[in-house]
Amino acid sequence: MNKRYRLRGGLLLEVMVACALIAIIVPLIGRAIWQLQARDALASTYAEQDTFSSALASQFTAQWSRLRPASCSPNEHSQLRIGKGGEVPKRLQRRDVDDHSDWLQATDSGACRLSIRSLHSPLTLTNECGFSTGERANVSTCLGNVNARVTRVSAQSTTFQLSSLTVMPTDSNKAVSLVGQTGILESRAPFYWYVGPGKNHQPAFWRTPVFSGRSLALWLGLKRLAVFPLLDDNQDGNVDAIDKDYGTYDMNKVLGLWVEYLYQLNDCEVAKTAQIQRTYHSMRGEKWRYNAPCEGVANTIVVFTG
- Tell me the CA distances in angstroms from 52 to 45, 121, 134, 184, 268, one per residue in order: 10, 47, 39, 36, 12
The predicted pLDDT at position 305 comes to: 84
Rounded Cα distance, 180 and 153, in Å: 23
Q: 206, 219 in Cβ contact below 8 A?
A: no
- pLDDT tens per residue across span 105-142: 999 988 899 999 999 999 999 988 889 999 999 998 88
- Tell me the CA distances in angstroms from 291 to 57, 114, 136, 167, 197, one per residue in order: 20, 47, 45, 55, 19
Residue-by-residue DSSP string for 248-302: EEEGGGEEEEEEEEEEE-TT--S-GGG-EEEEEE-TTSPEEEEEETTEEEEEEEE
**pLDDT band (50, 70, 90) for residue 61:** very high
The angle formed by the CA atoms of residues 108, 113 and 116, to the nearest 5 degrees, is 135
Highest mean pLDDT among 89-93, 165-169, 236-240: 89-93
- pLDDT tens per residue across span 7-38: 455 556 665 656 665 666 656 555 554 454 45
